[in-house]
Structure 1
Amino acid sequence: MGRRIVAIFAAVAVALVGVAAVLLYARGADARAVASQQPTNVYVVQSVVPAGTTLKDAVQNGLIIKTSVAAKGVPAGALSAVDGSNGGYFATTDIQPGEYVLAARFGAKPVGEKAIEVPAGMVAVSVALGDANRVGTFVTPGSKVVLFDTYTPVAAKASTASSSSSNNSTTASGQSTRVLLDDVLVIAMGEASLTPAQTTTADGEPAPAPVRGALMTVALSPADATRLVHGIQTGTLYAALRGTDAKIDLGKVVSEASLFSK
């Protein structure tokens, strides 16, 4: 009789321990499930982030945006904050739209044989512009710009040539300005190449130091690149930083005659 009572108590004790273990496991599983569903801040690529773009500029230009996802969906190493400790880091390669931004994709300086990557299907063209012509230092990789071209119309050139042949110097050649390209992606500014600068001239004299930011490198379709190269060779270019939803009139032509008209 005594053994049966002991066996019964032992079975009850084992059952209670088992129930307690199941309850503890279930509570832990619930806690883990809740934790996995907690929203976590991460950054996602909205538009292509060209190699060489700083993390700070990528955020300011809307190339990457912050969003919240369930903790279980966050990949290892995902970027969760942009601050003074990492804002100056450079994208080491192009980062494509839709990707989670991983901290490892940014480094203290551009690496590899070249500091920029040209987006697929496009070509890169560099334009030498003065401070005012390139909006000072406010244009950064990832910015969108409008390029204006000031040129001498064909009719004005013909008029000038005719005036020269008749020794009439009073006829003005006249120039016009219009939009050449209205939505241009900047992929580098100034000294973006890792290739060492030339230190001496052909005469052996020290070469002048490069002016940081004087070159603006843009990515264009092959057709638009041809237009830009022609504009560089024949006219005077001026860049304007493009704002969100800016309405650009591609057909607007301003000349000396129409400068003060609306």
Structure 2
Amino acid sequence: MNRRIIAVLAAVVLAAVGAGAVLLYVRSADNRAVAGKQARTVLVAEKLIPAGTNGRALRDGGYLRQTRMPAETVPDDTLATVEGDLDALVTTAAVQRGQLLMRTMFGTAVNRSGLAIPDGKLAISAKVKSAVFGPGAVRAGTRVAIFYTYTPVAVGKLDEVSGSGLERGRDVNNVTRLLMTDIEVISVGAAAGEGDGEVARPATATTGGGDVAITFALDQRQAEILAHATALGGLLNVGLLGDSSDVRPDRGVDNGSLFGKAG
């Protein structure tokens, strides 16, 4: 009996020693990673953080862990702690496990549905053609480029919109150009039909077929541009941006340059 007790105790001691050795190795690995560099404490998502999570819930819910990283590799707005001023704000999109927590991820909840607007931005909705992207591709947190198809006021005046909507006809020239880029999507819903009196019916993702109403986070100038473009008529499309997407303003494409060099 004594031998069994001794064997069990020995196994427990060895397990504790092994666990301690692993912890020491991990810590030493972290130290080696920042050796010779200025280190900075940052917060990392320990698990998925849902959109609409406020600062208090982050502190109390075990969502985060602190770690040390070389300062030169960390974005300036990365957080080291969740201060009290974030209690009144919420995450504007889901934060994936292992992702750094940044100040720009928070906004103000503005309605009961949990819609959140990033600091300094406006929420502007517009009807967008959905034929160019798949179901569910555009959702809260997606960053997009917005393209506008319109009829210019006259031949050679591509910078002036006619104001009579998107005209069609054998001799009508239309233009598609980049309106703005690197725009954050706040929410996506099914577009209301003509005369419904609403911008959109509640939805969380595109369902394919027909138009969708997308709510964007815009600054004042961008909001003015989008509102004016919508009032003039024409069609809006969005393109999803990747980390290396290269999108720049240009003269766009018209009927005469669709298969050739853009004007």
Instruction: Please report the TM-score for the alignment, with normalisation by the length of structure 2.
Output: 0.49
TM-score under structure 1 length normalisation: 0.49
Larger helix fraction of residues: 1
